[in-house]
Structure 1
Amino acid sequence: MATILTGGTVVTAADCYQAEVRIEGEKVVAIGQDVFQPGDHHIDVEGCFLFPGGIDPHTHFDLPVGDIKTADDFVSGTRAAAVGGTTTVIDFATQNKGESLATALFNWHEKARGQSYIDYGFHLAISEVTKDVLEEMTTLISKEGVSSVKLYMAYKNILQVDDGALLKVLKLAKKAGLLVCVHCENGDVIDVLVNEAQNKGQIEPRYHPLTRPIAIEREATGRAICLAELADAPLYIVHVSSGAALEMVEQARLKGFPVYAETCPQYLLLDDSYYETSDFSGAKYVLSPPLRPVSNQKALWAGLDSSSVATVGSDHCSFNLKGQKEKGLKDFSQIPNGGPGVENRFGLLYTYGVANGKINLNQFVALTSTNAAKLFGLFPRKGTIAVGSDADLVVWDPTVQEVITAKKQMQQVDYNLYEGFCQQGKARHVFLRGQHLVKEGILQEEGPAGSYLRRTSYCEGRDGSV
């Protein structure tokens, strides 16, 4: 028996049209008119948009940081993602120093296997570049189905790699078909600025953004692009937070370099005034890069419209204010960096992008799903609505209005970065490979059904308009 969605408007990165969608098994098997057959299950979705399931290319579930770990694991994080309209996440399997990449991947498979409500893949976050690590990289795609790695230019003495290591990885990635993702902040300079603040007794959360200024993001972004140019390798810059850093990307793209930028809802909608509190609540917004002056939002929205920003990820890395963020009560540098967002990413971009006229429906689909699928080796299985693609579908009702609040969220964290924000529209139904995962906005409690996704290699030029 097939499921037929009727009365809706199909939206992809390229098209927008009214059609019936027929789901059989895990796939979309027909799109058009009169695709109904005797015995089919019919769902009326008149007045709704049919979007491809969202792909969040940037999450951190069950991530250990010192003696604590993120508030959301794969169970709670993917439940939250599903109700928000996201059907695939790409999480960061993070290598501890001294570990092989195989061990890091094994650890993350153990965390996710049988726990995820949606499909998932892994980037490999590399903290130590050795001869053995470089050798392992050459078989990541063939053995593990991992087609992307991440390196940090920040978090000195923990995750930060030097320029030589980054260049080696970029050169090897070019040959191996990997896309290199980079966190662009100058960790050496941050270390100096943090020490200066501590010596002055400046310990409150408000000093977090002052020790990670825009200049060090701009500098690191330009340096990463320079190294990618030397290696003749593609580059994906995660969580771009400022107009100055985005300008580095735009200049590179004008020269024809394959440089892709990701931004996040927090940088589009929040600003550094959130740190200016009389109590410790500003710690909720301690994430890196930090929130920027509001003037940067205009540049980032323009980047979404012009396609100089390729994707919008959540950078979901949730820590409770109580008991976790409070580790930094006497020193802002000890506050675990990160915030929640996987549940709200899809709806926020629709509300403040599409509904507010900053981007159109096709751009919305590209930014929330299609471009990530293309860049990270999932297209056309994921990221579009087409015959033969996975039946990952979001039935979006644009008439529903809600207020975002931590009291109603699925995320397992004690606050919401967007508390009190209005959301226009809601995921009425969500399908994961044909499984009716969310019905009338309610997650169906049938247990985790997400699968690990083996991804294909990055291939310059195959990704269309990205």
Structure 2
Amino acid sequence: MTTLIKGGQVVGVDGAKLQDVFVDGEKIAAVTSPGLLTTADEVIDATGKYVLPGGIDAHTHMEMPFGGTHSHDTFGTGTTAAAWGGTTTIIDFAVQAKGTSLLSTLDKWHEKADGNCAIDYGFHMIVSDVNDASLKEMEACVTAGVGSFKMFMAYPGVFYSTDGEILRAMAKAREIGATIMMHAENGIAIDQLAARAFEEGHTAPVQHGLTRPPELEGEATSRAITLAKVTGAPLYIVHLSASQALAAVAEARDGGQNVFAETCPQYLYLSIEDLAKPDFEGAKYVASPPLRDKSHQPDLWRGLRTNDLSVVSTDHCPFCFKDQKELGRGDFRAIPNGIPGVEHRMDLLHQGVVAGEISLGRWVETCSTTPAKMFGLYPRKGVIAAGSDADIVLYDPVAKQTLSAETHHMNVDYSAYEGFELTGKVHTVLSRGEVVVSPSGFGGSTTHGRFLSRDLNQYLS
């Protein structure tokens, strides 16, 4: 099967250029000047459209256990929603429980995802139980195509690791070339603040944000960077939300350290004002780190421009308002942490292009090309080039849309971006050469996606 995409502007990190793309089977066979090729089994007219490499969301949580419940998107529903939004690859997290092995955890997540994904997928490993056995298994995980390991300075008693445990894991990561991903918040201090707030009768969702101040994200980020410097390990800060944390990352990067960071759309567009909505509505916006004061947002946009923030992911972790978020009525500490967003990342970041916050090339770079390189998928993914997978998005930059729970495809009963009016919309999506989204609707299958065995971080110096 051959496909010719003609008349569009192919967008890469250097901007847009009028080119045609020829697809043969699952691969891009050629990227040519307009009109050089004229025939194919299928011809798609991309006139007036951007032709983008499929988005890569490097931080999702499908079917994730949390607080006695599970995130509401399955791998099937979540990857279908991702495809609707122009994302053709996700990297999800296999969650090690205390007392279990990393490899058995990886097997468990393969059972969840294999044959149940509409797009291609990979895994990171959450390491919550640092011991001799798990450290040894980290090397086996790399061999199995999982070269990134997430740890937590938050959630004592669940995922939390001590500085000593983090140091041990970082030393192992340095030895095997893997990257440590860090949830950087001072969980010990946060738990004390949260307990005091509850004892004083402060139970509303906004307390989630007030008891997780940005200073404690900045402190933990600085501490993680110091531990990484001592061990020589590469460090990737996940879901960075605060100016204080960004300053620590920028300083480390300026000093030549292998430190990288991502942010998420919710921190660019939402704020603690959403957490403070009345009648428990604020529970819809509970995530960790929490939404910050709007004063942090200009710094985050600046960080995206300067590459101190290298990637935009979603931390997609959807819990329904009814029956799930409502578990925290009367105690904000029991609200499941997470915001749905895998369907809207590409659209929301395009608003940054529209507003002049980032360039067209930077949009593609942060949403596709850099995550491909950061997590060992480039040039198979993340670029429109001969030999790459034909993961291609036709994007209409002038189409208008309004985000709503009534029209999104995520398996969750609310939208964190309800009523947002956006410029730009996905038109057509190809995953490995197969049209999975078109103006006619979803034409893919949840058996289409394949597991991606990943190489190591391609940015390490």
Q: Under a length normalisation based on structure 1, what TM-score does the superposition of the two structures give?
A: 0.97
Secondary structure in structure 1 of the residue aligned to 2:289: coil
Shift of residue 448, structure 1, vs aligned partner: 2.9
One-letter identity of the residue aligned with 1:423: L
Shift of residue 43, structure 1, vs aligned partner: 1.0
- Residue by residue, what CA displacement relative to the aligned partner does 1:321-370 show, whole Å, maximum 9, x if unpaired? 1000111101000000011000001100002x111111011100110011
Shift of residue 458, structure 1, vs aligned partner: 2.2
* Change in 2 beyond 3 A, CA 1:314/1:356: same
Q: Does structure 2 conserve the Cα–Cα contact (< 8 Å) formed by 1:97 and 1:128?
A: yes
Shift of residue 443, structure 1, vs aligned partner: 1.2
Q: Does structure 2 conserve the Cα–Cα contact (< 8 Å) formed by 1:426 and 1:441?
A: no
Shift of residue 424, structure 1, vs aligned partner: 1.1
Q: What pairs with 1:419-438 in structure 2 (closer than 5 Å)?
A: 419-438=418-437
Whether 1:281 and 2:294 are equivalent positions in the alignment is no
- What residue is the counterpart of 1:380 in the other structure? 379
Q: Does structure 1 conserve the Cα–Cα contact (< 8 Å) formed by 2:234 and 2:460?
A: no
- What residue is the counterpart of 2:246 in the other structure? 246
* Change in 2 beyond 3 A, CA 1:263/1:38: closer
- What residue is the counterpart of 2:103 in the other structure? 102
For 2:73 and 2:445, locate their aligned partners in 1 and report how far apart those are by CA, in whole Å.
Answer: 20
Whether 1:52 and 2:53 are equivalent positions in the alignment is yes
Q: Does structure 2 conserve the Cα–Cα contact (< 8 Å) formed by 1:22 and 1:35?
A: no
- What residue is the counterpart of 1:368 in the other structure? 367
Q: Does structure 2 conserve the Cα–Cα contact (< 8 Å) formed by 1:152 and 1:161?
A: yes
Shift of residue 214, structure 1, vs aligned partner: 0.5
Q: Does structure 1 conserve the Cα–Cα contact (< 8 Å) formed by 2:208 and 2:286?
A: yes
Q: Does structure 1 conserve the Cα–Cα contact (< 8 Å) formed by 2:258 and 2:460?
A: no
- Residue by residue, what CA displacement relative to the aligned partner does 1:93-133 show, whole Å, maximum 9, x if unpaired? 00011110011101111110111100000000011101000
For 1:294 and 1:327, locate their aligned partners in 2 and report how far apart those are by CA, in whole Å.
Answer: 28
Secondary structure in structure 1 of the residue aligned to 2:201: coil
Q: What pairs with 1:128-207 in structure 2 (closer than 5 Å)?
A: 128-142=129-143, 144-207=144-207
Q: What pairs with 1:439-454 in structure 2 (closer than 5 Å)?
A: 439-440=438-439, 442-454=441-453
One-letter identity of the residue aligned with 2:302: A
For 2:445 and 2:247, locate their aligned partners in 1 and report how far apart those are by CA, in whole Å.
Answer: 46
Instruction: Indicate the larger mover: 452-461 or 259-268.
Output: 452-461
Secondary structure in structure 2 of the residue aligned to 1:387: coil
Q: Does structure 1 conserve the Cα–Cα contact (< 8 Å) formed by 2:373 and 2:459?
A: no
- Residue by residue, what CA displacement relative to the aligned partner does 1:147-188 show, whole Å, maximum 9, x if unpaired? 101001000100000001111111111111111100000010
For 1:211 and 1:441, locate their aligned partners in 2 and report how far apart those are by CA, in whole Å.
Answer: 47
Q: Does structure 1 conserve the Cα–Cα contact (< 8 Å) formed by 2:375 and 2:458?
A: no
- What residue is the counterpart of 2:42 in the other structure? 41
Shift of residue 206, structure 1, vs aligned partner: 1.4
One-letter identity of the residue aligned with 2:96: Q
Shift of residue 14, structure 1, vs aligned partner: 2.7
For 2:299 and 2:279, locate their aligned partners in 1 and report how far apart those are by CA, in whole Å.
Answer: 31
Q: Does structure 2 conserve the Cα–Cα contact (< 8 Å) formed by 1:380 and 1:389?
A: yes
Secondary structure in structure 2 of the residue aligned to 1:20: strand
For 1:128 and 1:374, locate their aligned partners in 2 and report how far apart those are by CA, in whole Å.
Answer: 28
- What residue is the counterpart of 2:87 in the other structure? 86
* Change in 2 beyond 3 A, CA 1:404/1:167: same
For 1:458 and 1:447, locate their aligned partners in 2 and report how far apart those are by CA, in whole Å.
Answer: 28
- Residue by residue, what CA displacement relative to the aligned partner does 1:256-277 show, whole Å, maximum 9, x if unpaired? 1111110000000011111222
Q: What pairs with 1:212-231 in structure 2 (closer than 5 Å)?
A: 212-231=212-231
For 2:324 and 2:169, locate their aligned partners in 1 and report how far apart those are by CA, in whole Å.
Answer: 34
Q: Which runs of 5+ in 1 are unaligned?
A: none
Shift of residue 449, structure 1, vs aligned partner: 0.3
Whether 1:321 and 2:318 are equivalent positions in the alignment is no
* Change in 2 beyond 3 A, CA 1:38/1:312: closer
Q: Does structure 2 conserve the Cα–Cα contact (< 8 Å) formed by 1:429 and 1:441?
A: no
For 1:445 and 1:85, locate their aligned partners in 2 and report how far apart those are by CA, in whole Å.
Answer: 13
For 1:404 and 1:321, locate their aligned partners in 2 and report how far apart those are by CA, in whole Å.
Answer: 17
Instruction: Indicate the larger mover: 11-20 or 291-300.
Output: 11-20
- What residue is the counterpart of 2:258 in the other structure? 258
For 2:230 and 2:92, locate their aligned partners in 1 and report how far apart those are by CA, in whole Å.
Answer: 28
One-letter identity of the residue aligned with 1:266: Q
Q: Which runs of 5+ in 2 are unaligned?
A: none
- What residue is the counterpart of 2:76 in the other structure? 75
One-letter identity of the residue aligned with 2:194: V
Shift of residue 213, structure 1, vs aligned partner: 0.4
For 1:432 and 1:39, locate their aligned partners in 2 and report how far apart those are by CA, in whole Å.
Answer: 18
- What residue is the counterpart of 1:120 in the other structure? 121
Percentage of pairs with the same residue = 45
For 1:108 and 1:326, locate their aligned partners in 2 and report how far apart those are by CA, in whole Å.
Answer: 27
Q: Does structure 2 conserve the Cα–Cα contact (< 8 Å) formed by 1:428 and 1:441?
A: no
For 1:129 and 1:88, locate their aligned partners in 2 and report how far apart those are by CA, in whole Å.
Answer: 29
Secondary structure in structure 1 of the residue aligned to 2:288: coil
One-letter identity of the residue aligned with 1:200: E
For 2:446 and 2:255, locate their aligned partners in 1 and report how far apart those are by CA, in whole Å.
Answer: 48
- Residue by residue, what CA displacement relative to the aligned partner does 1:47-103 show, whole Å, maximum 9, x if unpaired? 100010000000000011243111111011001100000000000000011110011
One-letter identity of the residue aligned with 1:198: F
Q: Does structure 2 conserve the Cα–Cα contact (< 8 Å) formed by 1:396 and 1:428?
A: yes
Shift of residue 199, structure 1, vs aligned partner: 1.0
For 1:311 and 1:39, locate their aligned partners in 2 and report how far apart those are by CA, in whole Å.
Answer: 35
Q: Does structure 2 conserve the Cα–Cα contact (< 8 Å) formed by 1:427 and 1:441?
A: no
- What residue is the counterpart of 2:353 in the other structure? 354
For 1:188 and 1:447, locate their aligned partners in 2 and report how far apart those are by CA, in whole Å.
Answer: 41
RMSD between superposed Cα atoms in Å: 1.2
For 1:454 and 1:380, locate their aligned partners in 2 and report how far apart those are by CA, in whole Å.
Answer: 14
